[in-house]
Amino acid sequence: MSESKRHEPTAFEFRAASLFDVPALAELAAASFKVPWSGEMIASSLAAKGSAGLCAIYKPSVVEETATKSHGGQAGSVTGALKGALIGRVMADEAEILFLAVAPEFRRRNLGRELLQRQLSRFDAAQIGKVYLEVAQSNEAARRLYQQNGFETVGVRPNYYSAGRDVPENALIMMRRGRFATGSERSSDI
């Protein structure tokens, strides 16, 4: 991968997710998942002890806003819009990624990778020993992203994805070991 592909998407601001983001997160989930999380599920996850959420807020450049105006759109119509998010939770020295989604128009631009890497860095700084997630067996793009970031398949949940699907699908359980320096103080800032 070229060096420029690894740089942070410059048109985004990254910040912690909060309950104020629930409506936008529910919209993102509806655009991203066959069976989307409800606003209640998202709110419950964010309010839970150990919640670790991260949002990518689109901040178009002046050039992009000018181009939007010149093509009949309104500048700022997407300014500040939530276009990607990750929700996880920490339990003792382990974490789980529950939700990673990117708006369809921003996929394949490394935004999901950036969200994942930022959250993994936060987990590492907090000396989280293992990070788990489940991913649909057929979701090759997500599996590749996770493998490229140190996750390995450690198990299978048969027919885990069944609600709202004609054919149930297995979930792969993936795990990544923490990459923190030994002997340093554990950070609670995740």
CA 116 – CA 150 distance, rounded (Å):
11
CA 18 – CA 51 distance, rounded (Å):
10
Question: How many residues are recorded in the chain?
Answer: 190
Q: Over 69-117, what HEC string results?
A: HHCCCCCCCCCCCEEEEEEEEEECCEEEEEEEEECHHHCCCCHHHHHHH
- CA 143, 149, 155, 159 dihedral sign is negative
Q: 84 forms bridges with which residues in the sheet?
A: 56, 102
* 169 catalytic residue (yes or no): no
CA 157 – CA 135 distance, rounded (Å):
10
Out of 27, 134, 160, 169, the active site residue is 134
Out of 58, 132, 146, 161, the active site residue is 146
* 140 catalytic residue (yes or no): no
Give catalytic residues, as residue numbers.
134, 146
